[in-house]
């Protein structure tokens, strides 16, 4: 089998293991490894956007020879390589220490997208980044998980904004030679691993493997010469091509993913479907049991007993629904191969009160999973309310759907300077005390000036990045000169900087701040207490309303009366998001309640000491303490936009802006810095991917691996 380290050229023997480090995305959250690459060639490291494989491929051979002769650098290299090799053993990890009897278990985690690093652009936003953080935390904790997804050769889409503010899409194909993925081949060397039937044809499916620490992730691929030309495009692009293409992608993910794990002889003890895109994973296993002689009822119980389903949205458009004709066109008469009547099969996907001619993927996933959860406390309540019809004899409060609040991977999202500040204040071993909530209380004693100066350094870095990116786009003729201002070149260090980087769905209300332009203008252009806004995010290519919201925001970024204090940054992805969540002064999150399932961007900001201003939805409904940011009270639904905008302006004018500019004789805003410390403590104590995965282990994975019956009665609606 090919090895990822083969992607890099010949390296000096003394540091040949750099290829091994670069081939595992573990380096992306290990400070020593990141620093090692940066110190080899800082300029090239930035030019390659922190892509370790491409970095080593382009590095000057003479410089690599020089590094191989640097004793100090070699010592650091050897330490990083030893840390990686130890991480791969999972020895001494949280899971191994507490649950040694399950050390050989395997949990399969199916997701349509994985956001692990910007160099592997097979994610669109929050769902994928959450899946990536989940895998990274599993590696840190030693949880025996394997990921299954799709390799999208064209990724999601690259965003370009026209001068009139309309979003256009372009492609930047993935070059497998510059990312840490390798093909998975059968013993004969063939890339064709499994076959599935779709559209009346046999589809051959291959796979690629990447590693996030000790976690292997298999990415399915249909772009194989043996396939029909139309079938080769199934895994081409994430979330595009209409419902028929999405259905075929989900068919490949679920059916092909299960068959791949069987082909690789990976014995799975627990199956986790992360969102309804993975529902066919459950149905394929149902088919397997029936093919082996189980009755339908027994097969359903067997699948339910070892399956978890996580839903990530209460928004109707976020759930996949397909017609019966679309299902049959993709999968054929699946019910015949399962030995059941057509109607019995389609009842699996019947939504209570919905169109009986539609197959609802979330409904099917809930029916076939013994464990189901939302991703915040409020989202859990909403999910129970939405799906109460599956348990018609129960009140919504008693529906057996729970919640595990999302969290973010601290080592991925916390800025290096913030970590170094914690090293100095808490001691270099603070990372080993993350499970002790009281250890985060010590953050409240960090010196105000020290924290503020670290933050100012990060803010300066962000503004420098924005200017360099604007220069690059202008040089490459991607922009007309007038777009340089909308791209942020007039932003200044002295202004209160508010960040908003989300998907441009209408319910997230990126344009809420502009409901009263005159009132906003008075806030932004105040010469004594200026405020500036930075926006980033993509609208789904098929979401015309979301594109119009983006266009409206962009129009204000071009409005001279705002004096360059509104910026829109193009092509939002992980590389840009790191800079935003680590560097702005205040994070803005204003979805219509209760439509935001979680909202992890605010958590990423908080672990860097950036307070949030937001509606009490998603994680903020349980995370807001009164001291770690500001909350907009819940408004009646029919007046939510009007009243929420009013509260937003009032909080900014009366409390937030005055507090930010109230400085001591050192220029430090003491009350503001206290909010920063409180934000960091609360996020560190309660909203990390580490604590999230520990809950999944204790409440879901271990009961399944231990053979326990799922809680509650199965759905009957």
Q: Report the 3 state secondary structure along 398-420.
A: HCCCEECCCCECHHHHCCHHHHH
Q: What is the pLDDT of residue 484?
A: 84
680 in Cβ contact with 606 (< 8 Å): yes
Q: What pLDDT shows up at residue 713?
A: 87
Instruction: Give me the residue label for tokens 């089998």.
Output: 1
SS3 574: helix
Q: What is the largest CA-CA distance in the chain?
A: 79
- The C-alpha atoms of residue 21 and residue 639 are separated, in whole angstroms, by 54
Query: What DSSP assignment string belongs to 47-61?
Result: HTTT-HHHHHHHS-H
Phi/psi-derived region of residue 335, left when phi > 0, alpha when psi is between -120 and 50, beta in every other case: alpha
- CA-nearest of 692, 690, 697, 696 to 29 is 690
pLDDT at 433: 86
pLDDT score recorded for residue 61: 95
- The gap from C-alpha 623 to its chain's centroid, in whole angstroms, comes to 19
Alpha helices in 368-504 (DSSP H): 377-386, 410-413, 416-426, 448-475, 483-486
Backbone angles phi, psi at 677, to 5 degrees: -65, -40
| Confidence (pLDDT) at 1 | 47
- DSSP, collapsed to helix, strand or coil, labels residue 511 as coil
What does the pLDDT read at residue 4? Answer: 57
* Lookup result for tokens 């007039």: 490
The four Cα atoms 422, 427, 432, 437 give a dihedral, to 10 degrees, of: -60
DSSP annotation string for 58-87: HS-HHHHHHHHT-HHHHHHHHHHHHHHHHH
- Residues 6+ positions from 593 with CB-CB distance below 8 Å: 615, 616, 617, 621, 634, 640
d(CA 140, CA 663): 40
Q: In this predicted structure, what is the pLDDT of residue 432? A: 86
Residues 6+ apart with CB under 8 A from 160: 167, 168, 169, 170, 478, 570, 571
Residues in the chain predicted with pLDDT less than 50, given as ranges, are: 1
Residue 630 has what DSSP assignment? E
Q: pTM to 2 decimals?
A: 0.97
Beta strands (DSSP E) in 492-570 are 496-501, 531-536, 566-569
How many CB atoms neighbour CB 436 within 10 A?
10
Cα 117-505-167 angle, rounded to 5 deg:
75
For residue range 280-330, list pLDDT tens digits in order: 999 999 999 999 999 999 999 999 999 999 999 888 777 899 999 999 999
* Centroid of chain to Cα 189: 34
Going along the chain from its start, the domains and CATH numbers come out as 4-89 (no CATH), 104-322+358-406+696-705 (3.40.50.2000), 411-688 (3.40.50.2000)
């Amino acid at each position: 089998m090919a090895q990822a380290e083969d992607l890099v050229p010949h390296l000096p023997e003394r540091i040949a293991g750099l290829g091994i480090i670069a081939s595992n995305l573990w380096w992306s959250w290990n400070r020593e490894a990141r620093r090692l690459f940066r110190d080899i060639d800082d300029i090239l490291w930035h030019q390659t956007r922190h892509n370790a494989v491409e970095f080593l491929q382009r590095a000057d051979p003479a410089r690599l020879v020089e590094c191989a002769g640097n004793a100090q650098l070699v010592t650091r290299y050897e330490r990083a390589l030893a840390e990686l090799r130890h991480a791969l053993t999972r020895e001494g990890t949280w899971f191994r220490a507490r649950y040694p009897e399950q050390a050989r278990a395997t949990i399969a985690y199916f997701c349509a997208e994985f956001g692990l690093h910007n160099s592997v652009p097979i994610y669109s936003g929050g769902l994928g980044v959450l899946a990536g953080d989940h895998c990274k935390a599993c590696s840190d904790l030693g949880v025996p998980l394997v990921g299954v997804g799709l390799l999208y050769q064209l990724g999601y889409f690259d965003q370009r904004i026209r001068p009139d503010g309309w979003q256009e899409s372009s492609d930047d194909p993935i070059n497998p030679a510059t990312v840490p993925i390798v093909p998975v081949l059968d013993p004969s060397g063939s890339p064709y691993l499994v076959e599935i039937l779709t559209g009346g044809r046999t589809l051959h499916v291959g796979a690629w493997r990447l590693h996030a620490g000790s976690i292997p992730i298999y990415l399915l691929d249909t772009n194989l010469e043996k396939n029909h030309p139309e079938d080769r495009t199934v895994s081409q692009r994430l979330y595009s091509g209409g419902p028929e293409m999405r259905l075929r992608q989900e068919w490949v993910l679920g059916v092909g993913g299960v068959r791949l794990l069987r082909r690789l002889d990976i014995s799975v003890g627990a199956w986790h479907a992360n969102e309804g895109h993975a529902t066919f994973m459950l149905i394929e296993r149902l088919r397997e049991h029936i093919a082996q002689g189980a009755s339908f009822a027994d097969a359903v119980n067997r699948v339910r007993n070892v399956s978890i389903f996580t839903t990530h949205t209460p928004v109707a458009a976020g759930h996949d629904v397909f017609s019966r004709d679309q299902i049959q066109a993709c999968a054929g008469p699946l019910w015949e191969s399962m030995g059941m009547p057509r109607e019995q099969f389609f009842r699996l996907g019947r939504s209570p009160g919905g169109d009986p001619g539609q197959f609802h993927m979330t409904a099917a996933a809930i029916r076939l999973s013994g464990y189901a959860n939302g991703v915040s406390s409020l989202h859990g309540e909403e999910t129970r309310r939405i799906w109460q019809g599956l348990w018609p004899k129960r009140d919504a409060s008693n529906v057996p759907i729970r919640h595990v609040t999302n969290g973010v991977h601290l080592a991925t999202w916390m800025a290096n300077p913030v970590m170094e500040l914690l090293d100095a204040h808490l001691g270099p071993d603070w990372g080993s005390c993350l499970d002790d909530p009281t250890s985060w209380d010590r953050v409240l004693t960090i010196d105000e000036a020290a924290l503020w100066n670290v933050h100012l350094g990060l803010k300066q870095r962000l503004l420098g990045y924005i200017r360099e990116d604007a220069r690059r786009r202008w040089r490459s003729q991607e922009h007309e000169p007038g777009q340089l201002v909308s791209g942020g070149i007039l932003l200044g260090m002295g202004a209160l900087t508010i960040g908003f980087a989300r998907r441009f769905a209408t319910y997230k209300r990126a344009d809420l701040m502009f409901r009263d332009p005159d009132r906003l203008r008075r806030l932004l252009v105040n010469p004594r207490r200026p405020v500036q806004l930075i926006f980033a995010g993509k609208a789904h290519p098929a979401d015309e309303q979301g594109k119009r919201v983006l266009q409206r925001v962009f129009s204000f970024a071009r409005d001279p009366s705002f004096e360059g204090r509104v910026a829109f940054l193009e092509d939002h992805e992980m590389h840009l998001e790191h800079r935003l969540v680590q560097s702005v002064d205040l994070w803005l999150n204003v979805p219509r309640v209760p439509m935001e399932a979680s909202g992890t961007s605010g958590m990423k900001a908080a672990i860097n000491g950036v307070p949030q201003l937001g509606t009490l939805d998603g994680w903020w409904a349980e995370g807001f303490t009164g001291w770690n940011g500001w909350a907009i009270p819940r408004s009646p639904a029919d007046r939510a936009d009007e009243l929420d905008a009013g509260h937003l302006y009032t909080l900014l004018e009366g409390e937030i802006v005055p507090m930010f500019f109230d400085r001591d004789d050192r220029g430090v805003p003491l009350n503001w810095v206290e909010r920063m410390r409180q934000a960091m403590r609360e996020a560190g104590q309660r909203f990390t991917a580490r604590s999230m995965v520990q809950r999944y282990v204790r409440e879901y994975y271990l009961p399944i691996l231990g053979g326990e019956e799922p809680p509650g009665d199965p759905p009957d609606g």
